[in-house]
Amino acid sequence: MNLVLLAFLALDPLTPEEVLRSVNQHFPLLAAVLEERRIAEGGQLSAKGEFDTKIKAKGDVEQFGFYRNETFDALVEQPLQAWGTDVYGGYKVGRGRFSPAEDKLATLSAGEYRVGLRTNLLRDRAIDARRTGLQTTAIERDVAETTVDKVRLTFFKEALKDYWEWVAAGQQLRVAKALLDLAEARNEQIAETVRLGSVAPIELTDNRQTILRRRGAVVGAERNLQNRAIELSLFLRAADGSPIQVRADRLPTIPEPPGDLEEVRIREDLAFAIQQRPEVRGLLLKRQQQQAEVRFAGNQIAPQLDFFFQYSKDAGVGSRTKIGDNVESGLIFELPAQRRKAIGKNMQQTAKLAQIEAELRFSRDRVVADVQDAVSAVRAAFESLAVVRNEVVTARQLEEAERARFDLGDSTQFFVNLRELATADAQFREVKAQSDYFKAFAEYDGSTTRIFSRYALTKP
């Protein structure tokens, strides 16, 4: 299958929405970033695995020596999220002769059934490593979404930039062709006046040279349009992901710029951007993750005090010492004298939280700066467009006046050509100014994240 399609079946003008939808659905680099979701989902599933039910079993046979016996022990253990508690149930059977030290392994003929639990009273009661992992990996899924959104914003802005440059290249090609048409149409008129002896033959030669130069300019403009279409094809793709080199007959006219940005809108968009920019949301989520780590590290400074309880009962026949209910309970205490490991870990996690807070403050400042710069670019582009449009009007007036003088014999083809070139140059710059305006507006929409709602783009 060809990687480049030379034609696009639909003949409607290509729109920015169509380009961005293509990026959203088929851009390869975006598809690669979407794997961040699966990575986060895998991490979350792995953290949930800390609460998986565990099945343990052990068998032992001792048939040599004075003490000959057989034992089998099975246990089902279930960690709980409440208080970091573990509950379990088990069965064991021990037959034969056991040494006094191993007497607990002996059971009645039908074996021993037991249930029990172990729970934390101080350390690991409010939070432990397993529950911290659950919290942080659950947040990591949202962090992955901010990564995807950040990359989407980057690609959307690049796609819109290439789109408007392609549109501008098409408009400039039209200007170049119109300029060539003027010279070619005038060539017959000059040839007739030369035959009548009204003007010197050099005027016809000069116009032919003008035609050749303008044909060269058209070739250059066509090459520029092809180049912009090739660049745009990186973002504009078919359903199978192959690039589409869009045809020139899908070129739209450049729409009228909506105007300058109002202060009320800027304030609203800035407040929205400070909350919704992916890098800010990502840091807010990372702060939540780090806060969970800080809580866990602080909890580890506390002493360990665990409570355990077990109920067991043998069934069948055998030694009288094994008959009846057996209840065991107690406390386990542990506290390192210096607690340097826990204290040091708490210092590390607290410092990391302070780092994230500093990054978050700078990130918000960066958002403000980006929006302000985008506003400045939009306003500058709008003002520049107004200036260039006035220049186009003036250039056309001078061109028409010079052409009227030429028709009356008061001017030469050389001066008419200069006026036409000046008008075309102003038109070229008008097209560029229009393109610059829409590219600046795309940057503004990207910096405020309004680009998602403006083009109704859902997440891929």
Beta bridge partners of 310: 116, 328
At position 390, the amino acid (one-letter code) is N
Q: Is the pLDDT of residue 83 over 70?
A: yes
Q: Return the pLDDT at 2.
A: 44
**Which among 288, 362, 361 is positioned nearest to 140, based on CA atoms?**
288
Query: Under DSSP, is residue 5 helix (H, G, I), strand (E, B) or coil?
Result: strand
Average pLDDT over residues 70-98: 93
Q: Is residue 41 part of a domain?
A: no
Give the model confidence (pLDDT) of 243-272 as tens digits: 999 999 999 988 888 878 899 999 999 999
Angle CA(230)–CA(236)–CA(242) in degrees, nearest 5?
A: 85
Q: Return the pLDDT at 8.
A: 40
CA distances from 294 to 125, 156, 367 (A): 15, 37, 28
**DSSP string of 33-91, one letter each residue:** HTHHHHHHHHHHHHHHGGG--EEEEEEEEE-SSS--EEEEEEEEEEE-SGGG-EEEEEE
- Give the domain range for residue 121: 53-94+112-126+306-338
Q: Are residues 80 and 23 in the same domain?
A: no
Token match 């992955």: residue?
Answer: 144
Among candidate residues 338, 355, 389, the one where a domain is terminated:
338
Q: Are residues 328 and 402 in the same domain?
A: no
Q: Are residues 140 and 240 in the same domain?
A: yes
Q: Are residues 355 and 232 in the same domain?
A: yes
Could you tell me the two tokens for 95?
A: 């037959």
Q: Are residues 329 and 417 in the same domain?
A: no
Q: Return the pLDDT at 406.
A: 81
Count of Cβ atoms closer than 10 Å to residue 27 Cβ = 24
Token match 């392994």: residue?
Answer: 105
Q: Are residues 366 and 382 in the same domain?
A: yes
Query: Under DSSP, is residue 14 helix (H, G, I), strand (E, B) or coil?
Result: coil
Q: Is residue 32 part of a domain?
A: no
Q: Is the pLDDT of residue 401 over 50?
A: yes
Give the total number of structural domains in the chain: 2
| Helices and strands, number each (H, E), in the chain | 10, 6
Q: Are residues 351 and 232 in the same domain?
A: yes
Q: Are residues 163 and 281 in the same domain?
A: yes
Q: Return the pLDDT at 4.
A: 44
Give the model confidence (pLDDT) of 328-382 as tens digits: 999 999 988 888 999 999 999 999 999 999 999 999 999 999 999 999 999 999 9
Q: Are residues 239 and 350 in the same domain?
A: yes
**Which among 382, 386, 419, 426 is positioned nearest to 403, based on CA atoms?**
419
Q: Are residues 328 and 399 in the same domain?
A: no
Q: Is the pLDDT of residue 171 over 50?
A: yes
Q: Are residues 117 and 141 in the same domain?
A: no
Highest-confidence range of 91-105, 205-219, 360-374, 400-414, by mean pLDDT? 360-374
Query: Under DSSP, is residue 246 helix (H, G, I), strand (E, B) or coil?
Result: coil
Q: Is residue 47 part of a domain?
A: no
Query: Under DSSP, is residue 12 helix (H, G, I), strand (E, B) or coil?
Result: coil
CB distance 437 to 378 below 8 Å: yes
**Which among 67, 153, 130 is positioned nearest to 459, based on CA atoms?**
153
CA pair distance 408, 421, nearest whole angstrom: 21
DSSP class of 102: G
**DSSP string of 152-187, one letter each residue:** HHHHHHHHHHHHHHHHHHHHHHHHHHHHHHHHHHHH
Q: Return the pLDDT at 324.
A: 86
Percentage of the chain modeled with pLDDT above 70: 97
Q: Is residue 39 part of a domain?
A: no
CA pair distance 439, 346, nearest whole angstrom: 48
Q: Is residue 36 part of a domain?
A: no
Rounded to the nearest 10 degrees, the angle between the axes of helix 413-448 and helix 340-407 is 160
Helix (H) or strand (E) holding 192: helix 129-195
Rounded to the nearest 10 degrees, the angle between the axes of helix 263-276 and helix 340-407 is 140
Q: Is residue 251 part of a domain?
A: yes
Q: Is residue 11 part of a domain?
A: no
CB distance 257 to 43 below 8 Å: no
Count of Cβ atoms closer than 10 Å to residue 424 Cβ = 22
CA pair distance 2, 338, nearest whole angstrom: 69
| DSSP E strand stretches across 247-303 | none
Q: Return the pLDDT at 197.
A: 75
Q: Is residue 118 part of a domain?
A: yes
Contacts of 305 (CB under 8 A, 6+ apart): 120, 121, 122, 123, 331, 332, 333
Count of Cβ atoms closer than 10 Å to residue 152 Cβ = 25
Mean pLDDT (the chain) is: 90
Q: Return the pLDDT at 119.
A: 95
Rg (the chain; Cα; Å): 39
Which residue would you say has higher pLDDT here, 322 or 281?
A: 281
Q: Are residues 356 and 377 in the same domain?
A: yes
Category of 13 on φ-ψ map: left (φ > 0), alpha (ψ -120 to 50) or beta? beta
Give the model confidence (pLDDT) of 28-78 as tens digits: 888 888 888 899 999 999 999 999 999 999 999 988 878 888 999 999 999
**CATH number of the domain that residue 360 is part of:** 1.20.1600.10
